[in-house]
Amino acid sequence: MNESEGALRGAALVLEGGGMRGIYTTGALDYFLDRAFHFDYVIGVSAGASHALSYISRQRGRARRVNVEYCNRGEYMGFGNLLRTGSYFGMDFIFRTIPERYDPYDFESFERNLGRFVIVVTNMLTGEAEYMEPRTGASLFAPAIASCSLPLVSKPVFLGGVPYLDGGIADSLPLDRVRADGFSRMVVIRTQPRGYRKKPSGGKALYRAVYRGYPRLVEALSSRNERYNAALDRLDALEESGEALVIAPEPQPGLDRLERDPERLNGLYRSGYADAEALADRVRDFAR
């Protein structure tokens, strides 16, 4: 590790969601830790926010361990969880049991971080994104759980009496937020390959049935592909103009957001690490 690399203050680090595809992100983040690439501003969506936790606390390897070594346990994810708790992913197990008992989270290191960490969540009442900045260990995991709570298979997370779900519903790639927070350059770690575009879900009737008390959320869910694809077009333009540096995986046929095969997941981790390594000098020069 080269501790002389130090803080990277010239660009924001943007982490896309994507469920288990986010293991790619953990590989890239571990390479950043190996090089002591510490961004002063990190914004994460859904799984991206979850993986950012161990990056900010500088616990190399922890995000991969939590999501690969435990993913085949019933408490981690499965329909048993959905029947028992209302959520396919075992949020208590992932965000409480593992950090407290099996793979301790370094809350003190998180609180020593002087940079900004932004978690994207979706307000179910407005259908719009909100951007939360936890500063203490006590306030850290609740917005992360909200950001990771996938529609249809997760319970709403209430924060301050307001129900929230997955941040990717309203803002999968928070490029505008990064600009609003004062950054003209950004390093973006994708979980989908270049050229990917999201197809319409066709699930509006189901959304209306499940979220009949939240019409603005239904509209946000129904138009998600349009906004996501528009954000991808903007990201392509930012990369072309030199304002964004994108790290993205190669196509992974057959791999989806609920992948549980450790061999495939570890391969995805290694590819994220290798892709970040290949771009390391560009990242360093771009973000300083």
Is the pLDDT at 157 greater than 90? The verdict is yes
Q: Examine the pLDDT at 125 and tell me if it is beyond 50.
A: yes
Residue 257 has a pLDDT of 87
Mean pLDDT of 11-25: 97
pLDDT (0 to 100) of residue 6: 74
Non-local CB neighbours of 170 within 8 Å, separated by 6+ positions? 120, 122, 123, 127, 128, 129, 220
Look up residue 77 and give its DSSP letter. B
Is the pTM for the entire model greater than 0.75?
A: yes
pLDDT digits (tens, 9 = 90+) for 146-156: 999 999 999 99
Distances from the Cα of 16 to the Cα of 42, 81, 92, angstroms: 11, 25, 23
What is the β-pairing status of strands 186-189 and 41-45? Answer: unpaired
Amino acid at 182: G
CA distance 120 to 168: 8
What pLDDT, on a 0 to 100 scale, did the predictor assign at position 4?
46
pLDDT in tens, 216-236: 999 999 999 999 999 999 999
pLDDT in tens, 164-202: 999 999 999 999 999 999 999 999 999 999 999 999 988
Measured between alpha carbons, how far is 203 from 187 in angstroms, rounded to an integer? 33
Portion of the chain with pLDDT greater than 70, in percent? 98
Burial of 285 (0-12, 13-18, 19+ CB in 10 A): exposed
Answer with the residue of higher pLDDT: 84 or 6: 84
Average pLDDT over residues 108-131: 96
Say what the pLDDT of residue 5 is.
Answer: 66
- Distance CA(191)–CA(132), nearest Å, equals 22
Over the stretch 45-76, which tens digit does the pLDDT of each residue have?
A: 999 999 999 999 999 999 999 999 999 999 99
